[in-house]
Amino acid sequence: MDATNLIATAPLPILITNTEGVITQVNAAAEAFYGCSAAALIGTNIANLAYAESRHEQERALWRVLHTEQAWEGLLDYTTHEDRPRTVRLYLSLVRDQVGAVCGVAFFISDVNEVVVFQRTLQRERDRLEAILESANDAMFMVDSDGTVVTANLQFERLFNLHRYDVLEHPLDTLVDQLRAQPNLPPDFANVLLNFGSDRSQSASYEFEISSTPRRVIRWYSEPVHTYDGVPLGRLFVFRDATHELAVDRTKTEFVSLVTHELGTPLSVIKNAIEMIQDDQASALSEDGHEYVQIIQQRVELLETLIKDIIALTRIEAGRIELRRAYHPLNVALDEAINSVRSITQARHQLLEIELADDLPLLWIDRNRIAQVFTNLLTNASKYTHDGGVLMVRAARVDHLWELPEDSPAEVRLPAVLIMVQDTGIGIAPEEQARIFQRFYRAENARQRRIQGSGLGLTIVESFVELHGGKVWLRSAPMEGSAFFFTIPIIEGK
Amino acid sequence: MSYILLAEDDRSLQFLVQRKLETEGYAVRSTMDGTEALALALNDRPALLLLDIGLPGATGFDVCRAVKQHYGTEAPPILIISTNGQESDVEAAEGVGADDYLIKPFSLRDLAERVRVFLNGAQPRQSYSM
């Protein structure tokens, strides 16, 4: 076998120099790599081929190989015909003559430029991501699918007063133990974190307080992380300081509260004065006079409903609704609602039919909230029903699933009182039925007919009913009227 | 029969509530001042007290607490008048021993109904027609 031929046909560029570094032999692959003929390369010092900044290193490598008589391997930048440095992996080994004396050095060149460029791009990408994580205002850390902490940023260190290198590459348990040792964190926080360690799918958000001065509120969430094609990578935890946000929220709520507070007394006076005029048998109002009073009364009632809705909404938004429950008969709440919509239904000559079953138990309710549920449902029923139409309220006790209407949601808690508020109005299109409980949402036909409304009523109905453990749903078809159902679970003897 | 004591510092509202209760057949004595309300309540033992919260002199809460302490189990029923949106008021009303509360804007018909229940011990009606 002819070694010279092997070198000539090798796919790797190979150059051989004498002990001075002067090229004595090259193969075809080397000619292609350098972009010049063998004649041009032979007789040139190999030093000239290295990229300026690598020249010194190559000389040292050559010197080392010659003096230690050992092979050398390393990365160098070479100048090629492209006139740009290409990174190569260089293998140097001694060449001996027939008697074994050192007569030169063989340069085996492996072009790894693509790999190196790729690695550099990756590194840059990683540095960039790290920089983003570092400059984020949120504290973050991530565990991989084995539950090992793989990323943590600067804010994470600040928030939890930890060094990330104490937790990186450690299991989540190590981090949890360190958090447990911190007295200003709530004790259950660590447990919640730990529960996520073994979970791959759940997303959730939470809030906790750090007992410091001033007190800080941290909102956090955890999300599973997947690659584009769905391979699980682990789980990300993000923590945000919501202290300021909550303070702003509180200011807003306080402002709304102040405004509505100031409106309460004048509105009360107007409303009560109207009632006195209406109830005063001796007052000699003309027919027109009665009409005028009724107009004022209707608007006052709408204003009252609107104010109540705004207050309710700010509380719902702030998550600060507390039910003031006591045992009441359902009609205590219904009565209050009927009183506040009476002028509206009367003005439109609508008939209100009430049918309450005889066996209704006392209900564990916040009567003002349930009254507001009735008021909002009845106001809607009246608004969307033509003059002279019929509104119905029915209530019955339900102990068994089979007693519920077929279209009831699955999660209704029993036993309960089932209440239906039905109208004979314009109805709601099927595609809109899911959205009408959203804040500010108004049905298309309601807007077309210019029926006034804030779009808050049903949001509040849903929220209040659910706070009582009940469910609300509807059955409706355009031009056939709507029936709203809601349940209030029966809670016996407290 | 002893009277209903109404303490409300909004003159118009006071006038309207007093008239309503009078047309329902109750004797009513009104004041706009908390201190005066307290003195009357401790002296006369009214049949029922209707107290606004923000009164000059002493708040409705102060009056309520003092009256309930003074009369113990013999104390007259007390209704506190609060303003919409002030849930803390309602909690406080319960804290000082109030029997019920009304939230402004309230209906005079509703007020009269509640007063009737307290004074006659009657049950609220069970069925409705309009």
- Total number of domains constituting chain A: 3
**pLDDT above 90 (res A76):** no
Q: Which domain holds residue A428?
A: 323-489
Burial of A453 (0-12, 13-18, 19+ CB in 10 A): buried
Cβ within 8 Å, pair A331-B126: yes
pLDDT band at A80 (very low <50, low <70, confident <90, very high): low
**Least confident piece of the model among A148-157, A242-251, B117-126:** B117-126
Answer with the one of A197, A216, A241 that is the final residue of a domain: A241
More confident residue, A455 or B90: A455
The CATH architecture to which B4-105 belongs is 3-Layer(aba) Sandwich (3.40)
Identity of the amino acid at A397: R
pLDDT confidence of residue A94: 92
Mean pLDDT of A320-334: 87
Note whether B23 contacts A: Cβ–Cβ < 8 A: yes
Same domain, residue pair A451 and A344:
yes
Using a CB-CB cut-off of 8 Å, the residues of chain B touching A324 are 87, 90-91
In the predicted model, is pLDDT for residue B122 greater than 50? no
Q: Is A317 on the interface with B (CB under 8 A)?
A: no
Same domain, A418 and A341: yes
Residues from chain A that touch B23, judged by Cβ atoms under 8 A, are 279-280
Instruction: Measure the CA–CA gap between B76 and A128, rounded to whole angstroms.
Output: 74
Q: Which residue has the higher pLDDT, B95 or A476?
A: A476
Q: Does B25 touch chain A (CB under 8 A)?
A: no
A260 part of a folded domain: no
CA distance B57 to A372: 34
A268 close contact with B: CB closer than 8 A: yes
Task: Decide if A445 is inside a domain.
Answer: yes
Based on the domain organization, do A159 and A62 belong to the same domain?
Answer: no
Residue B126 has pLDDT above 50, yes or no: no
A233 shares a domain with A328: no
pLDDT value at B74 more than 80: yes
CA-nearest residue to A273 within chain B is B16
The pLDDT tens digits for A119-175 are 989 999 989 988 998 999 999 999 998 889 999 999 999 999 899 889 999 999 899
Of A226, A241, A256, the domain-final residue = A241
Check whether residue A89 and residue A195 sit in a common domain: no
Asked if residue A271 has pLDDT above 80, the reply is yes
- Do residues A78 and A222 both lie within one domain? no
Same domain? For A152 and A106 the reply is no
Question: Is A401 at the interface with chain B, CB within 8 A?
Answer: no
> pLDDT tier at A198 (50, 70, 90 boundaries)?
low
Look at residue A208 and tell me if it is in a domain.
yes
- Per-residue pLDDT tens over the stretch A302-316: 888 888 788 788 777
Residue that terminates a domain, selected from A211, A226, A241: A241
**Pick from A264, A336, A340: CB nearest B104:** A264
Q: What is the CATH number of the domain that holds A28?
A: 3.30.450.20
Q: How far is CA A285 from CA A271, A291, B23, in A?
A: 17, 9, 19
In chain A, residues with a C-beta closer than 8 Å to the C-beta of B87 are 315, 322, 324
CB contact under 8 A, B128 and A345: no
Residue A225's beta-bridge partner residues?
A: A234
For chain A, the average pLDDT equals: 87
Greater pLDDT, A199 or A376: A376
Quote the ipTM score: 0.79
My answer on whether A78 and A21 are in the same domain is yes
For the segment B114-125, the average pLDDT, to the nearest whole number, is 72
Q: Which one is predicted more confidently, A48 or B15?
A: B15
Residue B3, pLDDT above cutoff 90: yes
Q: Do A352 and A472 lie in a common domain?
A: yes
Residue B35: both structure tokens together = 């201190």
H or E stretch covering A491 = none
Tell the residue number behind the tokens 């607490």, with chain if given: B65
Nearest C-alpha neighbor of B93 from the set B35, B49, B44: B49
Look at B106 and A342 and tell me if their CB atoms are within 8 Å: no
Same domain as A147, residue A108: no
The verdict on A94 and A48 lying in the same domain is yes
Say yes or no to pLDDT of B123 above 50.
Answer: no
Give the distance from residue B14's alpha carbon to the nearest chain A alpha carbon, in angstroms.
Answer: 9
- The yes-or-no verdict on residue B130 having pLDDT over 60 is no
Report the pLDDT value the prediction gives residue B127, as an integer from 0 to 100.
33
- Residue A263 CB neighbour total at 10 angstroms: 18
Residue A329 to residue B130, Cβ atoms within 8 A = no
For A268, which of B19, B104, B129 is closest by C-beta distance? B104
Same domain, A8 and A102: yes
The pLDDT of residue A1 is 53
